[in-house]
Amino acid sequence: MNNCTFIGNVVNDPETRYLDSGTPVLHWRFAINGGYGKHKKTMFIGCDLLGKRAESLQQYIHKGMKLGVSGELWQREYEGKNGKRQSLDLNVNQVEFCQSSQSEKKQEEPYYSDDIPF
């Protein structure tokens, strides 16, 4: 079984591309923090969400957003400028929004009243 769950931040605005079959693929980079103190590190993975959910979620996922993602992790090899490179990618099965909307994030003005005796 290969199922991983991560909570992290979206590094770039997602892009939609299409497979030869016409299936939409939503792709974004994801930053996950781990470790502690001087051993703290950030790992970057690519996330791919396929199908109709890819098209519908594109408008809601944006750079800087905190998400929870779950899916199958795999290692991909590709040819870079300096030779062969490797990256970790996640075939996303589930997406959970971990951050409230901008309107909910605004703090309400504190309530002041002369009726309070202190």
Q: What is the CATH number of the domain that holds 74?
A: 2.40.50.140
What residue numbers bound the domain in which 49 lies?
4-100
Instruction: Confirm whether 86 is domain-assigned.
Output: yes
pTM: 0.75
Residue 95, Ramachandran bin (φ over 0: left; ψ between -120 and 50: alpha; else beta): beta
Q: Please enumerate in sequence order all residues whose Cβ is within 8 A of that of 27, keeping only pairs 6 or more positions apart, or say none.
A: 14, 15, 16, 17, 46, 47, 48, 49
Averaged pLDDT for residues 27-42: 92
Computed over every residue of the chain, the mean pLDDT equals 85
* Number of domains within the chain: 1
User: Does 91 reside within a domain?
Assistant: yes
> Measuring CA to CA, how many Å separate 118 from each of 109, 110, 113, 114?
19, 16, 10, 9
Q: Is there a domain that residue 61 lies in?
A: yes
Place 6 in a pLDDT band, splitting at 50, 70 and 90: very high
